[in-house]
Structure 1
Amino acid sequence: MRRGATLAAALMSASLVLTACGSDSDDTGGKATETRSIKAENGTIKVPVDPQRIVTIGNTNLPFIDLGGKPVGVTEASDSDLDVLPKEQRAAYEAAEVVGGTGGEVDLEKLAALKPDLILVQFSATDWDKVGKRLETIAPTVSWGLDTEWKTFADAIAEAGNVADELSRHKAEFKEKVAKIQKNYGSVINGTSFVDVSRGTWNDPGTFYIADIGCSEIARDDIGLDLPKAAEGKDPLAYEALPFEQISELSKYDVITYSVDADGRPTEPFESVVTTNTWKALPAVRSDRALGVFCPGNNSYGPVNRYLDSLDSALATLPGKQ
């Protein structure tokens, strides 16, 4: 009996030692969790290898969902952003708990009650100063600055959120779509001057802007369209609201692209531009070289790929296409 008890005690002791050395234990249920290190704006962060309860804050909401992620908590997204989401992505967003209106207004108690094992963040430095350190006390928190380039941002979210397989698929589609446009419309693109114009709900009445950021960056930098952009070190052209009187200056461009919704109609803010006589008199408009292009977003591969599909269809209508 004594020998049996001694052996059982020894085996139990050995088992406890092996369990303690094998992995760390998380705070949400005692389940063993492996970790890895991620470099981010807020330092090198140890995150779970396979996080299960992710909260997305600020601009990380939709890019994570675009990569197949299903967050347990999110911050509010605008109706205009949600309206252009594919059905399954909108469902993933609406299934999550809303923990705040903006990054700096996160309800920390509500967030903590979700027992996240990872928090993904992209918002302003001011918002980080408000809540960043407190987020880090709740769960491993990975933060990126607002100036993070979109492809780098997608890579980082995929790595932190363990959704790299979906990212690889999106990247392959992006590469294929870019190559197709360049092949099919190369002769049209070369030697043709383009301008991308838009108008937002924030613009004053009677104004529009020349877009050199957002989806027009994709067209310029990845496709190779000759589009105007701000001089080095200057604010983007999109920051300057131009009066309708200056619409006539667009006549110097061969092709105009402008904002449309998913159904191909001018976006509501841009409708006031296309109804002006000045717009209707533009050479590009009169010769069917004013192209409506749908841009659902440019902060992740999914919406960018949808933009490329729209641009492809628009370029196909140009005279002289290959």
Structure 2
Amino acid sequence: MTLLRLRGAALAAALLSAALVLTACGGDSGNSDDTGDAAAETRSIKAGNGTIEVPADPKRVATIGNTTLPFIDIGGKPVGVTAESDSDVKQLPADQQATYKSATILAPSADQVDMEKLASLTPDLILVQIPDEEFKGIEKQLTAIAPTVFFGLDTEWKGLADGLAEAGNQTDKFGKQKAEFEGKVAKIKKTYGAIIAKSSFVDVIRWDSSDPGTFAIADIGCSEIARDDVGMNFPESPEGKDPLAWTALPFEQISSLSKYDVVTYPVDDKGQPTEPFAPVVATSTWKALPAVKSGRALGIFCPGNNSYGSVDRYLDSLDSALATLPAT
């Protein structure tokens, strides 16, 4: 249940009224030397909830749902966040882990946001990506506290990254990350183009929540980057169907991976199979795969696929892994 206490709503309303008064006072353009004018400047942002007026240079940003890690990735320092899993936080660079830990946790999930706590942080911008219905349920409470920029779950990751950088005025680091992404993709295509063109790939995974003795073919996540941007031939679900990654396959079907030239699987930042996937590589069926026996099973580190910084780290790992493929 969302913690929409009456006193929290009253506080939010009071904060909104104060913000309106301050904006009205700072909006007088007659005194160009008044530093309040700069603080009152706004920009128009197009988002899933319409055209939103946001501060030109927001200083106290709160992030809800899937916006937290991408915003931190581009250099943002949110004052309040909804909780991320320990495993996701562990994969962040040390400085980003510190940024996350310095923020106030608003709730374990977006549908439980403590509005009173959020209002007490006096944010000047709120960034949100959650299901549409969840957002509709809390939209009025959020917008009463601060300008709120919403992205639906159907927003493609590059669009989300662009939107967060624009709304949060974090374009400097974002621009560098985006340029690095484009350079890394071009390098991989040029260096391994011949191998990519003549090879079939499959990406396999196990989730933390996977049933014992099962794995899945991953057609979502980082392999989307390899497929859609790099041009690697990974299988994917037909349009309109559920992702292949949602179908649990028994270990007995590991042998079906023999038809692919190259198998990729998840490893941590030290190159070791992730904890959920470790049971797969321990099976005799995995060890007997032609790709495994011939050095064509590649462990790839995927810290995330919803921001340029994390995708850049994935591309570095992919580059290094492709370099190990034996010559044909």
Alignment of 1:56-95 (within 5 A): 56-95=63-102
* Matching residue of 2:168: 161
Of all paired residues, the percent bearing the same amino acid is: 64
**Residue 182 of structure 2 is aligned to residue 171 of structure 1:** no
Q: Is the 8 A contact 1:54 1:71 kept in 2?
A: yes
* Matching residue of 2:205: 198
* Matching residue of 1:319: 326
* Matching residue of 1:151: 158
CA RMSD of aligned residues (A): 1.7
Aligned counterpart for 1:215 among listed residues 199, 206, 222: 222
Number of residues of Structure 1 aligned to a counterpart in Structure 2? 300
Alignment of 1:133-282 (within 5 A): 133-282=140-289
Deviations along 1:107-163, one digit per CA (max 9) or x if unpaired, are: 100000011110000111232133221001000000101111000100000000000
Q: Is the 8 A contact 1:188 1:320 kept in 2?
A: no
Deviation of 1:30 after TM superposition, in Å, equals 10
Q: Is the 8 A contact 2:39 2:57 kept in 1?
A: no
Deviation of 1:51 after TM superposition, in Å, equals 0.6
SS at 1:195's partner residue? strand
Deviations along 1:221-267, one digit per CA (max 9) or x if unpaired, are: 11111110011111111011111111110000000000101100001
* Matching residue of 1:128: 135
Distance 1:20 1:292 in 2: 55
Aligned partner of 1:151: which letter? Answer: K
SS at 1:177's partner residue? helix
Distance 1:80 1:126 in 2: 27
Distance 2:272 2:42 in 1: 48
Deviation of 1:87 after TM superposition, in Å, equals 0.7
Distance 1:88 1:228 in 2: 36
SS at 2:28's partner residue? helix
Q: Is the 8 A contact 2:27 2:37 kept in 1?
A: no
Alignment of 1:294-309 (within 5 A): 294-309=301-316
* Matching residue of 1:53: 60
Distance 2:254 2:84 in 1: 32
Scaled by the length of structure 1, the TM-score of the pair is 0.90
Distance 2:135 2:178 in 1: 30
Distance 1:44 1:18, change over 3 A: closer
SS at 1:268's partner residue? coil
Aligned partner of 2:223: which letter? Answer: S
Distance 1:20 1:232 in 2: 50
Structure 1 residues not aligned, in runs of 5+? 1-16, 24-28
Distance 2:70 2:110 in 1: 16
Structure 2 residues not aligned, in runs of 5+? 1-23, 31-35
Q: Is the 8 A contact 1:53 1:117 kept in 2?
A: yes
SS at 2:252's partner residue? helix
Distance 2:90 2:52 in 1: 34
Greater radius of gyration (CA): 1
Distance 1:236 1:298 in 2: 16
Distance 2:280 2:171 in 1: 42
Distance 1:31 1:309, change over 3 A: closer
Distance 1:76 1:19 in 2: 35
Scaled by the length of structure 2, the TM-score of the pair is 0.88
* Matching residue of 1:26: none
* Matching residue of 2:119: 112
Distance 1:237 1:113 in 2: 43
* Matching residue of 1:35: 42
